[in-house]
Structure 1
């Protein structure tokens, strides 16, 4: 059996409204946990990333939702968001390529602005209703954050960032992260916003949070294609 990774992990997706809600709960209410977990991006790979993943024996389990589930999610997310004092704005995704915003996260991370990038992209998508798969949107966010516009907007074309994306997809596969938000603590796994309290109890019951993380941390922050109810984005 592989050795247990003692660092709690948070698989987040910039696409998913449930991941956005979990992000807000984590950063607004539990900044000490936000500062200690590993932040791992999760997204549906495009055709190129799928080929890269399959070439090394990886897998990406995902099933498209039904229309009934999609309509339920519209209602459910608005209800949960309003309970949290938020008003969602529904984006329209036209031919989305999720590598565009998620590989740009790695570029922002390299510049020391990963946390700010996550915060701003979530605002842009879920509070402003804009298309985060539009390279012009990513360039605008980069400009706001003082980051290289071309690098972030064209991250999906960067070979090194594609390789990092492949490693991230393999990490999802290894942890069995089939949807988001997805939390891992030791051998325990928690899927969905409704499992977040159980994740917190597991972390607090394990002797406290670790002092160091192996992936760059996001830290405490201020406060189309919708995702699966309570989890999978």
Structure 2
């Protein structure tokens, strides 16, 4: 019998998506859940609300709290935490590569490597050289992958995925959507999302 699938909607510029990405495989396996990795961009969603940057920049007190919270949560998971400059990062190229990776064994490995470079080491993921280095470190044909990621067809796929996120009511990252369409938002809701997906899967 096939296992229930939980959609993991993540944005590479999202701090809390970093925490979820680094633990979701282990916790999903324990819950008997498959993960569908769904990269998207928050920029267009924020722009529709009149925001020109992250709400953590628009509201400094909220931003200060978030970074301190990230330090605590990352430490609890045994993860490094470093603020990249600038924040938020331009995640377009990384998202295009992640979308191209969909269904391939290196998909989750690439996603986690990007997050580790960005929020663990404070590196600039908008720089193609950073993404290329990550791909090479994974033993992949970096130049071919980068070329394919920048094709018109792959760009259109990412636009369509971002449109889907907006149409489905996603407003932040990470977001998790269960097989019956229930949405959970935030790293602190990952456990609830997995439990919900497992219950609905066993009921089906």
Q: TM-score, normalised by structure 2?
A: 0.81
Q: Which has the higher helix share?
A: 2
Distance 1:97 1:24, change over 3 A: closer
Please, which of 181, 190, 201 is the counterpart of residue 195 of structure 2? 201
Distance 1:96 1:37, change over 3 A: closer
Aligned to 1:20: 18
Is the contact made by 2:176 and 2:184 (CA closer than 8 Å) also made in structure 1?
yes
Aligned to 1:40: 38
Aligned to 1:140: 133
Aligned to 2:92: 99
> Aligned partners of 1:131, 1:169: CA distance in 2, in Å?
22
> Aligned partners of 1:33, 1:23: CA distance in 2, in Å?
16
Alignment of 1:131-210 (within 5 A): 131-153=124-146, 157-185=150-178, 186-208=180-202
> Aligned partners of 1:36, 1:209: CA distance in 2, in Å?
16
Kindly provide the CA deviation profile for residues 22-81 of structure 1, in whole angstroms up to 9, marking residues without a partner as x: 122312333255861221112234xxxx6xx9xxxxx95574411111111111110111
Is the contact made by 2:175 and 2:185 (CA closer than 8 Å) also made in structure 1?
yes
| Structure 2 alignment gaps of length 5 or more | none
Structure 1 residues 92-101 or 169-178, which shifts more? 92-101
| Structure 1 alignment gaps of length 5 or more | 1-5, 54-58, 211-233
Q: How many residues align?
A: 194
Q: TM-score, normalised by structure 1?
A: 0.72
Kindly provide the CA deviation profile for residues 113-172 of structure 1, in whole angstroms up to 9, marking residues without a partner as x: 212211211221122211111111011112112323234445664211111111111220
Tell me which of the two structures has the higher relative contact order, counting C-alpha pairs closer than 8 angstroms and 6 or more residues apart.
Answer: 1
Distance 1:192 1:86, change over 3 A: same
In the alignment, is residue 68 of structure 1 matched against residue 78 of structure 2?
A: no
1:86 aligned counterpart, secondary structure:
coil
> Aligned partners of 2:78, 2:6: CA distance in 1, in Å?
27
Aligned to 2:75: 82
2:86 aligned counterpart, secondary structure:
coil
Distance 1:94 1:206, change over 3 A: closer
